[in-house]
Amino acid sequence: MRAVITRVSSASVSIDGRVVSEIGRGLLVLVGVANGDGTADTDYVAAKIRDLRIFSDAANKMNLSVVDVGGAVLAVSQFTLLADVRRGRRPSFVGAAAPDVANEAYEGVVSRLRDSGLVVRTGMFQADMQVASVNDGPVTIWIDSRSET
């Protein structure tokens, strides 16, 4: 499972020109599910999202998590994070999980974040979405549950 986590001042998801989800200060998280991802991957990614200390404290050091600052999470499923571009010019997505499996894993991440007390907004699975964000810093962190465990 891969996730790209961006610290934001605000972020939103629109579909057909209508805002369907938005947050203020917090994290915009793009989540891609790979073939073979399971509960351990879901748990790992959700814990990292929740606990990463990427917000500044009073001394301007990145020592606070999204929980610590009372921030929210906007989670968006994005299978293109699993693109393989090693050959040719067209990305291959054979490493991405099938939609039904991917949605279940994505919803698992969202559920675990909500269970930890975070306010979590979401995009719409498999929709053509426009994602807007005001990046803060910018601070962007990439997580891959398979390369980090």
- Catalytic, 79? Answer yes
Total Cβ atoms within 10 A of residue 148: 10
Total Cβ atoms within 10 A of residue 25: 17
- Catalytic, 122? Answer no
Q: At which residue do the structure tokens 């398979």 appear?
A: 146
Of 83, 73, 76, whose CA–CA distance to 131 is shortest? 76
Which residue of the set 39, 80, 130, 140 is catalytic? 80
Which residue of the set 6, 42, 55, 79 is catalytic? 79
Of 145, 149, 144, 3, whose CA–CA distance to 73 is shortest? 3
Report the C-alpha gap between 140 and 123 in whole angstroms.
Answer: 19
Report the C-alpha gap between 79 and 1 in whole angstroms.
Answer: 10
Which residue of the set 6, 42, 78, 122 is catalytic? 78
Q: Is 82 exposed, middle or buried (0-12, 13-18, 19+ CB in 10 A)?
A: buried
- Catalytic, 130? Answer no
Residues belonging to the active site: 78-80
